[in-house]
Amino acid sequence: MLIFKILRRSEWDAFRAAGETLGAPVDLADGFIHFSTAPQLAETASKHFAKESDLVLVAVEAAPLGGDLKWEPSRGGALFPHLYRELRLADVVWDKSLPLGATGHIFPEGVL
């Protein structure tokens, strides 16, 4: 199962350069890296990145993260994947630009 992380372009660039990341400022503050499932993505994008256009959508396979990935209640009691370790570039299955269109973010085909 793929899980997804939305990063600002500067966060993605720093992640690629370092080979790992502890996430965005919200992740550092909360002590884990926030992810979303495909059905949660559109709401995550609109809630936390509504007017941001230079974003990168990162896909990660959940199973290899093992016990470091915990499913915890968040928005409306839905279970969200939270990673309790650094995210490594080797964990990333693919990355794609997530542009902002006239009616919201434009997700890669087949993601939602």
b/e 50-79 (16+ beta carbons within 10 angstroms → b) = eeeeebbbbbbebeebeeebeeeeeeeeee
Give pTM, 2 decimals. Answer: 0.95
Tell me the CB-side half-sphere exposure of residue 24, using CA atoms within 13 A.
16
Of 72 and 76, which is predicted with more confidence?
A: 72
The correct answer on CATH 3.40.50.1820 for the domain covering 2-99 is no
Q: Give yes or no for residue 75 having a pLDDT over 90.
A: no
Q: How far is residue 109's CA from residue 60's CA, in Å, rounded to a whole number?
A: 17
pLDDT of residue 94: 98
Domain boundaries, the chain: 2-99
Q: What is the mean pLDDT of the segment spanning 17-39?
A: 97
Instruction: Tell me, rounded to whole angstroms, the distance of Cα 84 from its chain centroid.
Output: 14
Q: Give the number of other CB atoms < 10 A from CB of residue 48.
A: 13
